[in-house]
A and B are shown apart, each in its own frame.
Chain A
Amino acid sequence: MGKPKTIIEKIWENHMVHQEPEKPDLMYIDLHLVHEVTSPQAFEGLRLNNRKVRRPDLTFATMDHNVPTQNRDVIKDEISKKQMETLRKNCKDFGVPLADMFHPDQGIVHVIGPQLGLTQPGKTIVCGDSHTSTHGAFGALAFGIGTSEVEHVLATQTLWQKPPKTLNVHVEGDLGTGVTAKDLILAIISKFGVRFGTGHVIEYTGEAVRNLSMEGRMTVCNMSIEAGARAGLISPDETTVEFLRDKPHVPQGEAFDEKAEEWLSLATDEGAEYDQTVTIKAEEIEPQVSWGTNPGMCVPVSGNTPAVNESEDPEDIERALEYMGLEENQAIESIDIDHVFIGSCTNSRITDLRKAAKVVEGHQVNDNVRAIVVPGSFGTKLQAEKEGLDSIFKEAGFEWREAGCSMCLAMNDDVVPPGGRCASTSNRNFEGRQGNGARTHLVSPEMAAAAAIEGHFVDVRKFASNVYA
């Protein structure tokens, strides 16, 4: 036996194409996911230089950022329409498989990769999207890249990468009833800050992480970038294997079991060392609500907004409170909302919708609130409809939409108006993210559902005590 290794080191070594002194390593990329917003200039670059896509079979495209979530036959925005037509043409010209707006596999790129079984342990996965870290939930090394790098991967199936430093985020103990994966990752970012992961790949370890479903693990890994880390992952285990069994793009039958053995052997070895380790206690975590303009600006729902003069960065706090239209020391439960968005690559999967529907069932959306549910993929939408979740949401007064990124970044028509305040299950509460002047509060699907009904934030564990009994 050699020196114990982390899964990060193992994947790195398995993908080394070329190494030389004073240079980053040339890494092979196993899966390249493509969407309409960050790819047009990359394909154009290939054309200008008379290059082709090296491995269209390892490339997969969909439309998600810009797609309407209703009335898809008529796209009024000509520029949006052109961007989608451009992707269609690029995929046709270069032979790249595409799940377009009307395809049964369509959905948010980070939702469909796992659903189709394209995402697998041990793979290197990239996409022109920072939330590519989501796929790390499967024990893949997955990270976002810019458009120049998209072009580089299309042309060469490789990337020049400096070996990352490794960071173990160890979660001690288990989460309490009604406390979710979203609360866990928000608490982590709030405790360690929005740049503690810079230059690192995070591995999440510990009992609470092991006990998460694959959907929960995706929620956690998704927001690694909000902690500054390009990638975050979780070593594969039986939960990972069972999620992937029978998925369309994984080996079937006996070949699957052989593959599964290989995947499990990638898990971090006992005694492997990380460059850095931080620890958080799961049982101390309460449902979280972000109050400010970055995802680290988060407090438990029972808490208050911070006091400006008692904080380390009074200027940042003051500016954030002003943008958010909040007072210092204001109780989180006193904040009235007018929008609710359940969706995004963080929280739009079937288990997210099931849990939110449980909270919603038998209640009505508050008169002052406009609430929408946007399933992460067409497949998720169908599954939810099969289970009757759409009826629960619609009867309560939610709008039930087609799959896409939607109000997470408001590139389509799903926009929060200036001054509007949204309880959102997405990943970024940046200024203007959900619309110019819009105010975003990041929460779990359960917390968003409860806020939709009450019209302000409440502790979902009290609101839906029957669900958690």
Chain B
Amino acid sequence: MEAIQEHEGLTVPLNRSNVDTDQIIPKQFLKRVERTGFGQFLFYNWRFDEDGTMREDFVLNDPSFQEGSILLAGENFGCGSSREHAPWSLLDYGFRVIIAPSFADIFYNNALKNGIIPIQMNEAQVKKWMAQAENGNFALKVDLEKQLIIDSEQSVHFDIPAFHKDNLINGYDDIALTLKHEDKITAFESAAHV
């Protein structure tokens, strides 16, 4: 995974709660056996209508949000299926940071494994940024080391578990990290007779 220490980019406001992984990437695109190339299918049914025409009313199709790399969303982002195709499609499309009042557990983990920073932030602050983002051309800077999100007026602290922060900053392969404990795994297997 690509290491990420900080990220500065334009925001995209997706003002909806309970955005499920079926919306992030619909099932017809889960048949590929690769990890790459999923960006074109991101939010497919919201971006395109049934005959493949672009839906003008969806935020990602708005010309003012084409360059965005920080997604602002509502509560419970990424609920539903465990498909890692969801973060793969977000990353491939160009998103490196997602800020929401809450995330679904499986999506949160999947994002971390792919070098996306999922940032849980209080709802009032998300709403404030959402309103600013809706005017277009609203940038934020994320400093992962200091756990700060910086806008033109202020720096706001965010929480992230130390273990995950460390992995993101260093782009660690966590299988290699785990295999350092291989003796303990073997000992467990022999003690538990598995």
Interface of A toward B, CB cutoff 8 Å: 14, 17-18, 22-24, 26, 28, 30, 37-38, 40-41, 44, 49, 51, 54-55, 58, 65-66, 77, 79-80, 82-83, 86, 128-130, 144-149, 151-152, 155-158, 160, 162, 194-195, 198-199, 225, 228, 230, 294, 313, 316, 319, 409-411, 418, 428, 430-433, 436-437
Contact = CB atoms under 8 A, between A and B. Distances in A.
7 contacts: A14-B192, A17-B184, A146-B106, A228-B79, A294-B79, A316-B17, A433-B22
Contact of A58 (B110, B174, B194): B194
Contacts of A428: 20, 22, 80-81
- List of 8 A-B pairs having minimum Cβ-Cβ separation, nearest first: A148-B113, A146-B110, A40-B33, A146-B84, A144-B82, A147-B84, A130-B82, A79-B31
A30 B175 contact: no
B33 A28 contact: no
B82 A156 contact: no
Contact of A146 (B22, B30, B113, B175): B113
Contact of B185 (A157, A160, A228, A230): A157
Nearest to B50: A418
A43 to B, nearest CB: 9
A412 to B, nearest CB: 10
Nearest to A84: B31
Interface in B6-37: 16-18, 20, 22-23, 26-28, 30-35
A58 B161 CA distance: 30
B104 A294 contact: no
Contacts of B47: none
Contact of A41 (B34, B79, B81, B182): B34
Interface string B114-146: 100000000000000000000000000000000
Given A28-B188, A83-B33, 4 more contacts: A26-B184, A145-B82, A147-B35, A225-B106
B45 A436 contact: yes
A40 B81 CA distance: 17
A436 B28 CA distance: 10
A157 B188 CA distance: 11
A430 to B, nearest CB: 4
Contacts of B35: 41, 44, 147
Interface residues of B, number: 50
A14 B179 CA distance: 20
Nearest to A23: B163
A22 B105 contact: no
A20 to B, nearest CB: 10
Given A24-B163, A44-B33, A149-B109, A195 B84 contact: no
Most interface-central of B16, B84, B102, B113 (chain A CB within 10 A): B84
A28 B178 contact: no
A373 to B, nearest CB: 21
Contacts of B181: 17-18, 26
Contacts of B83: 37-38, 146
Given A198-B105, A432-B22, A79 B32 contact: yes
B22 A18 contact: no
Contact of B23 (A14, A41, A430): A430
Contacts, number: 167
B76 interface: yes
Contacts of B161: 24, 162
Contacts of A148: 84, 110, 113-114
A24 B4 CA distance: 21
Contacts of A432: 22-23, 26, 45
Most interface-central of B16, B50, B181, B185 (chain A CB within 10 A): B185
Most interface-central of B17, B87, B188, B192 (chain A CB within 10 A): B188
Contacts of A83: 31-33
A17 B82 contact: no
Contacts of A319: 16
Nearest to A26: B181
Contacts of B173: 49
Contact of A37 (B31, B175, B178, B184): B31
B160 to A, nearest CB: 12
A337 to B, nearest CB: 20
Contact of A17 (B20, B28, B45, B185): B185
Contacts of B104: 195, 198, 228
B2 to A, nearest CB: 14
A319 B23 CA distance: 14
B32 to A, nearest CB: 7
A129 B185 contact: no
Given A23-B163, A37-B30, A436-B45, A294 B18 contact: yes
Contacts of B194: 28, 30, 55, 58
A149 B35 CA distance: 14
B41 to A, nearest CB: 12
Contacts of A313: 17
A430 B82 contact: no
Given A149-B113, A158-B185, A432-B45, A195 B33 contact: no
A134 to B, nearest CB: 13
Contacts of A79: 31-32
Contact of A437 (B23, B30, B50): B50
Contacts of B162: 22-23
A40 to B, nearest CB: 4
A294 B173 CA distance: 35
Nearest to B31: A79
A346 to B, nearest CB: 14
Given A130-B80, A160-B174, A431 B179 contact: no
Interface in B21-63: 22-23, 26-28, 30-35, 45, 50
Interface string B63-94: 00000000000011001111110010000000
Contacts of B80: 130, 225, 428, 430
